Amino acid sequence: MECFIKLIIDNDYRTGSIVEQWITVDLKNGKQLEIFDDYPLIDISEYVNKKVKILVSAAIYDLKDYDEMSESDELTHKIIKGKYLGTIEIPLIWKEKGHWNDESTFDFYAKRGRAIEIEEGIFYLGGYNLERFDELAIGTEIVAKLGRCDILAWYPIEE
């Protein structure tokens, strides 16, 4: 997913060094997304106000029909709509160019990564109980509450 890095907030309360970051990005469609990086090994801060490609894992909750979403759901959570893709391979470019915090993360998502395609791009599904998606047919339209988004990998866009 292509984005513009707008802001990075470092949380260094535990050790005095950067332990985790919240990254605010602008997506191509004009929407903003907050992404968590829980152990940044490669400093992305030099890319503030620049475009990067990001691979994101999103925790989603409460799969529902859109008609079942209440008004309070839409006020308190970001609601995402998309198409379930099932288990998909991570494109090889991410292995070659992507800055990964942990090689085992790539291995996990390469083998077990389930994904949904939304307007903004592809979200790999994170969190627990991924098996709950196994009953969904590939191509199923889903609506869900968006939980925390985590950065899996990123690389700069050459301009």
pLDDT digits (tens, 9 = 90+) for 15-27: 555 567 889 999 8
67 phi and psi angles, rounded to 5 deg: -65, -25
| Distance between CA atoms of residues 117 and 121, nearest Å | 6
Rounded to an integer, the average pLDDT of 43-57 is 89
Region 89-118 average pLDDT = 80
Average pLDDT of 65-91?
70
Q: Would you say residue 4 has pLDDT above 90?
A: yes
Terminal-residue alpha carbon distance, the chain: 16
| pLDDT, tens digit, 9 for 90 and up, residues 140-149 | 998 888 888 8
- Write out the DSSP string of 129-145: -GGGGTTSPTT-EEEEE
DSSP E strand boundaries for 65-140: 78-87, 99-100, 114-118, 121-125
Instruction: Tell me what the mean pLDDT of segment 36-62 comes to.
Output: 83
In the chain, DSSP finds a helix count (H) and a strand count (E) of 3, 9
Name which of 9, 43, 42 is nearest 25 in CA terms: 9
Q: Of residues 42 and 151, which shows the higher confidence score?
A: 151
